[in-house]
Amino acid sequence: MGKGRLEKYTLIITEKPDAANRIATALDEEGKPKKTVANGVPYYQAYRDGCIVVVPALGHLYTITSKQKGRGYPIFDYQWVPRYKAERGASRIRVWLKVISQLAKDSDGFVDACDYDIEGSIIGYSILKYACDGKDTSAKRMKYSTLTKEELLESYSRLLPTLDFAQIQAGLTRHEIDWLYGINLSRALTQAVQNNSGQYATLSTGRVQGPTLKFLDAREKTINCFVPTPYWTLTAKINVNGTTVEVEYEKPLENKAQVAAVKAACKVKEGKIETVDVKEFLQSPPVPFDLGSLQSEAYRIFKITPMKTSSIAQRLYLDALISYPRTSSQKLPPSIGYQNILKKLGKTLAYAKQTRELLSKSSLKPNEGKKYDPAHPAIYPTGNLPEKLLDASERNIFDLVVKRFLAVFGEPAVLQGITVTVNINDNPFHMNATRTLMEGWLKFYQPYVQLKNASLPMLTKGQPVGVEKVTLNSHFTQPPARYNPRSLLMKMEKEEIGTKATRAATIQTLYDRKYLCGTTNLSVSELGFEVIEVLSKYCPTVVSPEFTRKLEGEMDQIQQGTQTKENVLQNAVETLKLVTSELKDNEAAVGAQLSQLIQKTRLQERTVGACTKCGDGKLVVLRSKKTGKRFVGCTNFFEGKCNAAFPLPQTGTVKPLSADCKSCGSPVVAVYLRGRRPWKLCLNPACPSKGERKK
């Protein structure tokens, strides 16, 4: 496809190299496209009713940057530029765009085959508009939900006549508003600290970060202010026909005198069964996965974070194992071919039995949820089996998607609920139990759901029972649980802030900015508390879920054609002008409040432990002004009281550890070297463990 070649071709733009390879292979009549690498940029030549060239992007090749120089704020003038002009380390993008532009010159037709969602639409649109000299107005669009050969061929044979401009306008609006809020608010915080202390600290917030941190802040304050109150429960062990079962007093008791009276009254040897209520009920199959529910379920079962689940699902999609994961749909249309997918999955022993059972049904109808996404169906397996070895996390997510797909076609499970009331000297105790009578869909979703098979003796109304023991249990009321990555994701979804594709990344950013602590139970750091306090005091709008929810709704309206990008941007900018003005006016107070805590946080991060020499100083990581080398020294050195010092490795990242050395009790640090596992270093040169290693 070199310069000067007479033959023209259709140029297809994809989002990533893996997708380009699959699309070219699917479209080529022989399934063997020719791969060419130009200056490190791969592209593929295929033939189907004419010549085709498929070239990938590397995700976003264009980004937003300020038109004005310097690091001041507020900023309202911006432009879209190639990433290499705005980001360090993006020089590769220059070559990439040059190759795409050269390929565009010899093309007489253009197709956007990036993922059919907001991000993919912006990627394809930007390349066609800027790198391909305005071909966004004449390009056609491929729309597909899997990278299987069959669907790609179908998509190419039915190209959409134009790009999805409503989705593009919504996406551009989202990016531009997020950039405007992110850069202005982040610069306001950072500049306030720098002007106050003379030190630079990376602080950030935004229209989604702020409300998310506010949720965590509110929960943390509720927990900290919670005052536990005592209460008591009574349990009784009763004997029914030789079998001991446990029953519980009908309600918790909050009065100690009442507790004593009930326990005393229950010191009898016999009671009787008052009622036995048996009910059967149906438990419907689950609905298909959208991205949020997949992330939630992956965390519940495997403790895989939402961000990692999204990344794994994207890899499985690029390997043509599952459908496009960034969807909010809970619908599975018949057009995906239920039977064909089940037949292909049944070729592996792991799913053969379940698929045979489903295929024997007279009809296949999935249990669908309410949520609908016009771009893509719910997440489902394509039926393709892995061509390469998957790692443990990939295997888990793939199996979860397959099992969920099987389960939605199952019959409702039939369960039996049993409620028993026992009278012990006129005091009511009760017991609840559940049995699975018919597994239905449950058999297809194991081991991710457990069958309930309570074992109970025969129970009849009026039946006498022996009272073996009555136990008093004391408790205290508990505060609400801290958010974990799963429950925080669900909270964001419920409050309608962020999107299915950005919520996990927002949580990760809060970690990166050190606003959060913990991995399972998320708590707000001191820095996080201060940042949210400043924002709540001086610009409460930007931490308000209502404001962010309103903007999300307006961007949805753009996509539906009932609102314009210009109106939404203008309203958002007017609000932002008020916010930045307020922060400017209070810059000194904001800087003073945040600077003190940042200095304290930095000291805590460098603190290794108590000084073993002087006893009242702290050992911290320092750097010599003369040599530039880092070492651990005592804080009392600056007051002339202690000269304790310990050498450190000069390469890698050093992080203090809370635990002391098991051999000598001295402080320990962890040393992280790129490409190697971290190792623990005891600061004591005479530590016995070091002598043992030398031997």
- As assigned by CATH, the class of the 172-224+482-594 domain is mainly alpha
Tokens standing for residue 175: 């990016």
What would be the CATH architecture of the domain defined by 230-285+413-476? Distorted Sandwich (2.70)
The whole-number pLDDT of residue 619 equals 87
Sequence ranges of the chain with CATH classification 1.10.290.10: 291-407
Tokens of 344: 């292909």
Question: Which neighbouring-strand residues pair with 40?
Answer: none
What's the CATH fold of domain 9-163? Rossmann fold (3.40.50)
* 453 beta partners: 435
Distance CA 196, CA 193 (A): 5
**What CATH number should be reported for the domain whose range is 291-407?**
1.10.290.10
pLDDT computed for residue 257 by the predictor: 86
Which position among 73, 324, 351, 380 bears the catalytic label?
A: 324
Contact 242, 455 (CB under 8 A): no
Residue 385 near residue 351, CB atoms below 8 Å = no
Other CB atoms within 10 Å distance of the CB of residue 111: 24
Annotated catalytic residue 324: yes
- Which residue ranges in the chain fall short of pLDDT 70? 1-6, 691-695
Q: What per-residue confidence (pLDDT) applies to 6?
A: 42
Residue with tokens 């259709």: 10
Where do you find CATH 1.10.460.10 in the chain? 172-224+482-594
Q: Given this model, what pLDDT does residue 692 score?
A: 56
Question: By the 8 A CB rule, do 449 and 439 touch?
Answer: no
Is residue 491 within 8 A of residue 483, CB to CB? The reply is: yes
Closest of 639, 678, 686, 626 to residue 655, by C-alpha: 678
CA distances from 488 to 7, 507, 536, 601 (A): 55, 8, 20, 25
pLDDT of 238 reads: 94
- pLDDT for position 302: 97
Reported as a single tens digit per residue, the pLDDT across 534-589 is: 999 998 998 999 999 999 999 999 999 999 999 999 999 999 999 999 999 999 99
- Angstrom distance (rounded) from CA 291 to CA 46: 33
Q: CB–CB of 529/518 below 8 Å?
A: no
Comma-separated ranges of CATH 2.70.20.10 domains in the chain: 230-285+413-476
pLDDT at position 691 is: 63
Stated pTM of the model: 0.86
Tell me which DSSP letter residue 541 carries: G
- The residue count of the chain comes to 695
Nearest to residue 285, comparing CAs of 365, 228, 354?
365
- State both tokens at 536: 């709540």
- Tokens 């039977």 sit on residue: 339
